Structure 1
């Protein structure tokens, strides 16, 4: 028996890589939608970028103290997912967009690029070769997401992510979008995508958009998404570097 099956329990099917790719291609999708953190690469690039910019003095001490306080409240459950994701973009207000994009490029290359799942890169590349329209949807800020998905050949006009208004090249605190939970479905709808053929996500915050897909593919799922997947009958997939260990 597959080790991942033994770990997550007998009520859910876990796909091997070949089965996973075959299941996706069998849909002959025209539109495929991918979450990013935990789905295209391991780790939380949004929180990682927050920590990296604090460590490298990109934001002021005052902004750092405020954001860390809010993050503690988020972990305590008194600040919502959508609030903290928005605030983690707003905190860069007053900096130039060029400064933040430069920081995002340096951060991603140093901390996240090595965590890209080769199996997901292979899948995206194969789908693109077939002319599939690929979208990335994430509650992480647009600077990091757009930098990261360059590795997958996904252009910025196919990225829906947490973002604020830029005025004369300067970051403001005016929120334009924070795609998380039902907000991911809303952002896709605004882009004209009502029923994507295939959706890939790793957390319960992706469940709403997984539910609107013709084919739902939980990848590297969190415990909460495993539970939802059991209820929905969604098969799971774990890239080799994150297959759950037994015992």
Structure 2
């Protein structure tokens, strides 16, 4: 009898502990943390959305653009500066065949259309011949050298909330995938295999080629990347430019637009500016993060004649909701 009572006590204590643990985990996992830098209105809408996803038993996927969405692109894109800086240090002014070929590609990058497939193809051609490890190191070194203070703190807080609510977080960028994987993984806590960009074939012995892997994550290709590689309808998407429209519209939940342009009319966006287009979407939220030049850095991109990206000083913007 005493043994039976002891067993009952142990079982009761165990059950109590398990229930308490489950309640603690649930409370810890699903508690929205307000994002400093976003308005109360935006935080309230985000919290309501996150709480609505708690009962979901399917994959919860969030997909973000990178440059200008998760970290700053002022005065120049990290991908451009990394490539041109590498070219200046390794090929500029040299007369050997390889250097001449690489600098010819640089000339095409500098003087061609910087939003088409030809542009991303030339980036891949420039990086071809290196190993995946070497390309990752080029991107990481550039981040550490000139961009380490460019991660948006608001977006880091948003990603932390998504993780707390059991979301899978993915990045879909039009920049070379290998160039961004290492520093994004380290800075944002996202697995490298969920950081997707322009892919090129890597040989069996680890050499990166100039052969593009389709779909290419440019404009409509970003939506194709979501469907091909992520294989789920996102509940949350985030971007900052015309090039993110198709990807953001794969969302069946919320869409977050960061620092949207309100000057250029975009034909593909119903002849509206980026800001105007998303203001007409009832499921879109507009937010602002500070993106201004920092430090007294020497940018090869600027020296070689590339136009600066527009500054977004947060104090000059209003934070609005949907």
Please indicate the TM-score interval, normalised by the length of the shorter structure.
Answer: 0.7 to 0.9
Match of 1:42 in 2: 72
State the alpha-carbon separation in 1 of the partners of residues 90 and 39 from structure 2: 41
Identify unmatched segments of 5+ residues in structure 1: 1-14
Match of 1:56 in 2: 89
**1:26-175 correspondence runs (5 A):** 26-28=48-50, 29=53, 30-43=60-73, 44-57=77-90, 60-74=99-113, 80-150=115-185, 151-167=187-203, 168-175=205-212
1:245 positional shift: 2.9
Match of 2:316 in 1: 245
State the alpha-carbon separation in 2 of the partners of residues 82 and 24 from structure 1: 35
State the alpha-carbon separation in 1 of the partners of residues 239 and 103 from structure 2: 30
State the alpha-carbon separation in 2 of the partners of residues 54 and 113 from structure 1: 21
Does the alignment pair 1:225 with 2:260? no
Moved more, 61-70 or 158-167: 61-70
State the alpha-carbon separation in 2 of the partners of residues 62 and 117 from structure 1: 37
Contact conserved, 2:237 with 2:256, CA < 8 A, in 1? yes
State the alpha-carbon separation in 1 of the partners of residues 146 and 247 from structure 2: 28
Match of 1:10 in 2: none
Runs of 4+ in 1 over 4 A off after TM superposition: none
Q: TM-score, normalised by structure 2?
A: 0.65
> Which is higher, the Rg of structure 1 or of structure 2?
2
Moved more, 88-97 or 115-124: 88-97
1:240 positional shift: 4.0
Contact conserved, 1:27 with 1:197, CA < 8 A, in 2? no
Match of 2:26 in 1: none
State the alpha-carbon separation in 1 of the partners of residues 194 and 161 from structure 2: 17
Greater fraction strand = 1
Identify unmatched segments of 5+ residues in structure 2: 1-36, 54-59, 92-97, 263-272, 292-311, 318-322
Once the two structures are superposed, residues 51-101 of structure 1 have per-residue CA deviations (whole angstroms, 9 ceiling, x without a partner) of: 2222322783431232322431215xxxx5222123212211112222222
Contact conserved, 2:79 with 2:139, CA < 8 A, in 1? no
Cα 1:240/1:97, change in 2 over 3 Å: closer
Equivalent residue pairs, number: 228
Once the two structures are superposed, residues 135-164 of structure 1 have per-residue CA deviations (whole angstroms, 9 ceiling, x without a partner) of: 111011112321232211001121221111
State the alpha-carbon separation in 2 of the partners of residues 180 and 119 from structure 1: 25
Once the two structures are superposed, residues 89-137 of structure 1 have per-residue CA deviations (whole angstroms, 9 ceiling, x without a partner) of: 2211112222222222211111222100011111112211221110111
* DSSP 3-state at the match of 1:89: helix
Does the alignment pair 1:183 with 2:221? yes
* DSSP 3-state at the match of 1:135: strand
State the alpha-carbon separation in 1 of the partners of residues 231 and 148 from structure 2: 29
Cα 1:145/1:102, change in 2 over 3 Å: closer
* DSSP 3-state at the match of 2:72: coil
Match of 1:5 in 2: none
Cα 1:175/1:128, change in 2 over 3 Å: same
Match of 1:9 in 2: none
